Amino acid sequence: MNENEDEPKDFIKLNYEKLSTDEVSELVISPCCGAVSLFIGTTRNNFEGKKVIHLEYEAYSPMAEAEIKKICRDVRQKWPSVKHIAVHHRLGLVPVTEASVIVAVSSPHRVASLEAVQYCINTLKATVPIWKKEIYEEAYSWKENKECFWADVEK
């Protein structure tokens, strides 16, 4: 067996295609790992009583990929047993109930992968330059994460 096949890898993808949970889990599965943890972010149909028709995502793409790469690097420092990490974020129009982001992490035992997935999505929401616009029936709104590290969103 080629040893290079099982080097720890980061799989980062930002594009306009529908996301696939199967594809993302298959990327991180590894013979030495007993745990794969997944987070899927899906479009919700309501915000503050307004009906959401769909979300539209935009990214400052080269920097978004670089920031996700930094998150992967931090994950590996905090959880050295983590094997593979995959972060796929969809851009453009995402209809209600479809996935906008999938994060998957594999590790030999479950604690690292569970904690790393949580860290990944939380940090993504605080630092990665991606924006979503909620489209309601009669209006739209650019959203602001409360995790955003520079804005006082809850003023």
Residues interacting with other proteins, by CB under 8 A?
41, 57, 59-60, 62-64, 66, 89, 100-101, 121, 124-132, 142-145, 148, 150-153
Least distance from C-beta 3 to other proteins, angstroms? 33
Is 98 assigned to a binding site? Answer: no
Is 155 assigned to a binding site? Answer: no
Contacts (Cβ under 8 Å, ≥6 apart) of 101: 19, 39, 40, 41, 87, 88, 89, 90, 121, 124
Is 109 assigned to a binding site? Answer: yes
Is 134 assigned to a binding site? Answer: yes
Is 110 assigned to a binding site? Answer: yes
Q: How would you write 39-84 as a 3-class SS string?
A: EEEECCCEECCEEEEEEEEEECHHHHHHHHHHHHHHHHHHCCCCCC
Q: Both ends of the chain: CA-CA distance in Å? A: 57
- Residue among 77 and 150 whose Cβ is closer to other proteins: 150
- Residue among 26 and 144 whose Cβ is closer to other proteins: 144
Least distance from C-beta 147 to other proteins, angstroms? 9
Contacts (Cβ under 8 Å, ≥6 apart) of 26: none
Least distance from C-beta 5 to other proteins, angstroms? 30
- Residue among 114 and 126 whose Cβ is closer to other proteins: 126
Least distance from C-beta 153 to other proteins, angstroms? 6
- Residue among 52 and 121 whose Cβ is closer to other proteins: 121
Residue with tokens 């029936």: 137
- Could you give the CA distance from residue 81 to residue 108 in angstroms, rounded to a whole number? 7
- 37, 110 contact by CB (below 8 A): yes
Give the annotated binding-site residues for substrate: 109-110, 125, 132-134
Give the annotated binding-site residues: 109-110, 125, 132-134
